[in-house]
Structure 1
Amino acid sequence: MKTPNLQLLASALEKGEQLDDLGIVKQFKEGQTIVSEGANVHSIPIITKGSVKVMQSDDTHKEMVLYYLRPGETCVMSFLAGLYQGTSKIKAIAEEPCEVLFIPVARFRILIREHPEWLNYIFEIYHKRFEELLGVVDAVAFKNMDERLLQFLQKRAEVSGSRILKITHEQLAQELGTAREVVSRLLKKLEEEERVVLGRNKIRLL
């Protein structure tokens, strides 16, 4: 069953608009950067296959994952930067091999003007991203690191569709904006509580 966002793309195709007509389709390998922090945004990225993590760094280059993008979704922060001729405040990285449709900003303006469903699409994505960012603020401000870690693992499992996560303690620490020693200690605690099983560079959620 298609998600509402993928239905929008399907609708565009039914009207005779191929993806190549809407913009440029690019393939990315796992770990490749799709959007860089500080870059000028000339095209709006829409994920058509795979998943993407969106991160932000501070002045000390410490990074933290803000949210994930799945097929049919776009990064609202990139959309706003492109629409108002600003620079990207985030970095988007391929979580797995993925395909991304880049729609030029000028073309996107036309789509919004001529097809109201595209504006509804942006509002829908904006609402979802806003709720996720509120969740990040809530986790950082009010939750202990062990709660944040477990919540983060559950979110990654949801995005990947697997309860076995291939990730190192160092990567987890980077994405949570904390120290590797903290993550290792908390993962050991979660294992003792029989919430996870730890393996070499992988974690299985129970």
Structure 2
Amino acid sequence: MELDSLVEFNTSPAIKEKLLAYGRVRTFKEGDTILRENAYIKSIPIVVKGSIKVIRTDEDGREILLYYIKAGESCIMSFLGAMHDDTSKIKAVAEEDCEILFIPNDKVSLLLKEYPEWLDYIFRLYHKRFEELLEVVNEIAFKKMDERLLNFIQKKCELTQNKTLSMTHEQLANELGTARVVVSRLLKQMEDEGLVKLGRNKITLL
């Protein structure tokens, strides 16, 4: 495993060596659930390859996408839950085939004591996730659904580095917390405006 792929932000080789020594690597297929809501957090995930989507679910089973975790990043929600011996408030799902390094909670505490820069890594993640959550709140509160849909498609294309998304209208609706008929209508409107091209379970950003 490449040490440089472990963390996005600048950290010393010593920390990366410790992460490899303390952690356990697991692989997940696209669509696999990595962390369920209300489950106790036993270890902190660091994405080595691939990406994860973090979702919040309401009592009726409706979901909304909060943010993505990319290679070199970790889940700040997991950090907070682990430090307070609390249950998870989110669900994490593999957005694509991914490889994740899991660091046991007690080892995370050791790293915090031994390496102050590890705390800096956590604060940087916290800042990034906080900004992303503010963006979600802003979109829900102030933006129309057509803007949210186009923003989502653009972000998804940027994440996958592919202009074509393989997603159903139902999947898009679930990610945005809306109805499938709304997504289908807006996608057809966006196609008429020359923003996207629609295919069978495919959406191409133009």
TM-score tier, shorter chain, comes to: over 0.9
Letter in structure 1 aligned against 2:154: Q
Cα RMSD (Å): 1.7
- Report the CA distance between 1:42 and its aligned residue: 1.1
CA distance in 2, matches of 1:18, 1:82: 17
Partner of 1:201: 201
SS at match of 1:128: helix
Partner of 1:92: 92
Partner of 2:7: 5
SS at match of 1:78: helix
Report 1:1-206 matches (<5 A): 5-6=7-8, 8=10, 11-12=13-14, 16-17=17-18, 19=20, 21-206=21-206
Contact 1:31 1:93 in 2 (8 A): yes
Letter in structure 2 aligned against 1:44: I
- Rate the CA distance shift 1:167–1:80 in 2: closer, same or farther, 3 A: same
Letter in structure 2 aligned against 1:139: E
Letter in structure 1 aligned against 2:157: A
- Report the CA distance between 1:3 and its aligned residue: 8.0
- Report the CA distance between 1:139 and its aligned residue: 0.2
Contact 2:11 2:117 in 1 (8 A): no
Query: Normalized against structure 2, the TM-score is what?
Result: 0.94
Contact 1:44 1:79 in 2 (8 A): yes
CA distance in 1, matches of 2:19, 2:122: 20
- Report the CA distance between 1:158 and its aligned residue: 1.1
CA distance in 2, matches of 1:65, 1:114: 35
- Report the CA distance between 1:12 and its aligned residue: 3.9
CA distance in 2, matches of 1:87, 1:150: 33
CA distance in 2, matches of 1:18, 1:196: 42
Letter in structure 2 aligned against 1:33: T
- Report the CA distance between 1:4 and its aligned residue: 9.6
The percent of aligned pairs where both chains have the same amino acid is: 55
Unaligned runs of 5+ in 2: none
CA distance in 2, matches of 1:121, 1:88: 21
Deviations 1:49-89 (A, max 9, x none): 00110000111110010000100111111110011000000
CA distance in 2, matches of 1:153, 1:92: 20
SS at match of 1:5: coil
Contact 1:50 1:98 in 2 (8 A): yes
Contact 2:49 2:71 in 1 (8 A): yes
Contact 1:9 1:72 in 2 (8 A): no
- Report the CA distance between 1:125 and its aligned residue: 0.4
CA distance in 1, matches of 2:11, 2:117: 10
Deviations 1:102-150 (A, max 9, x none): 1011000000110011100000000000000000000000000000000
- Report the CA distance between 1:5 and its aligned residue: 3.1
